[in-house]
Amino acid sequence: MKKLSVLFLCLIVSFSLRGQETKGVVFDHGTLSEILLKAQKIKKGPKMVFVDCFTTWCGPCKYMSNTIFPMENVGKYINANFLCVKIDMEQPEGKEIAEKYKIRAYPTFLLLDVDGNEINRLLGSSEAEEFIERVKKAVDPGNSPKARKNIYDSNKTFENAISYLTALEETYMTDDLQKFTEEVLPTLPLEEKYSDKMWPYIALSLNDPKSSIIDLIMNEKLIADQYVGKERLDKVICKGAKKYIGYYLSERIQNPDNEKFVKCTQYLQLLANRDATAEYFVKVSKLYTENKIDEITSLLNVEDLMSLSAQDENIVEDMILSIKGLPMEKRLGYLKAKAEFYNKQCELAKASIERYSKNNN
């Protein structure tokens, strides 16, 4: 009798714990292929797959796993509509999935059909009710980037182009966003091309060294200034020009455009009196084309660079240190001198603290 009572108690505890476990989102164990196959075989139940693409170091990923997914209201909606699986993007399977679905940020939540086709995706953490609403919106076929692209292809209006760009931005599909911006921008009239709606995507493209947008904007800059504002446009082009020069000097661009390199250098030369780092980029570019590596390394002067703001110092330092062909001993010598500079500053700071403490005792 006593044994039966103990067994009965164990069963109650077991069912109780199982009930607690299923309050939140239920994640299946297995590979994505196995989960998709399971979804295909289900006769009654969810016909979509929810993939939590996470990394172990991602704070928002942990917040979703530890705080949001265990919530009953989140589990009720997600479990009713999806089979769910968690995949570490730094494991072999995760790396393959990241490449296949072009995942660039974490957490990313993929919403797939039973064949593994992407319905939509969500990025980042959010609170429970907001997350549920985001998922509901994402599973609406009309809200996916693919659907919005189809709408644009059938009716190429400016509003449809912006709608598609917005969908790409929300899902962090940066490669597709970049490609479409380059495709659509030359087709737009000036008032749409340089409108407030289009400007964020232009700015994003100008920040990409591989983008062709910078050529288009520089070719009609006087016109663009009238719509966007000279100072606003200069700031973004300046940043993009520096990036292109940096990539060119470090040979990170395949088939580099020498004419574009010259244009970017000339543009920065015009801004040298308004930008603390532009002069360095112009000077280094000239020395690089003349193959004067020794003179470039002489610019790695700790005291000169430390006189810049911390942000500007990092920009110039990164640009010079990444130059292809810069001798390793020169790089290490500079970094050693920089460490000694900071050590000296620390000693001076300690001395000031001791002197201050002594004078106030």
Q: Is 264 a catalytic residue?
A: no
Each residue of 122-136: b (16+ CB within 10 Å) or e?
bbbbbebeebbebbe
Structure-token pair, residue 246: 């940096």
Instruction: Using the structure block, give the residue that is written with the tokens 């659907």.
Output: 147
Reduce the DSSP state of residue 111 to 3 states and report it: strand
Tell me the Cα Rg of the chain.
Answer: 28
User: What amino acid occupies position 273?
Assistant: N
Please write down the long-range contacts of 230-238, taking CB distance under 8 Å and 24 or more positions apart: 234/271, 234/274, 236/202, 236/203, 236/206, 236/207, 237/206, 237/267, 238/267, 238/268, 238/271, 238/275, 238/278
> What sign does the dihedral 254-257-261-263 (CA atoms) show?
negative
**Residue 357 burial (CB count, 10 A):** 9
Q: Is 346 a catalytic residue?
A: no
Structure-token pair, residue 310: 């911390």
Given 53, 61, 84, 264, the catalytic residue = 61
**Active-site amino acid positions:** 58, 61
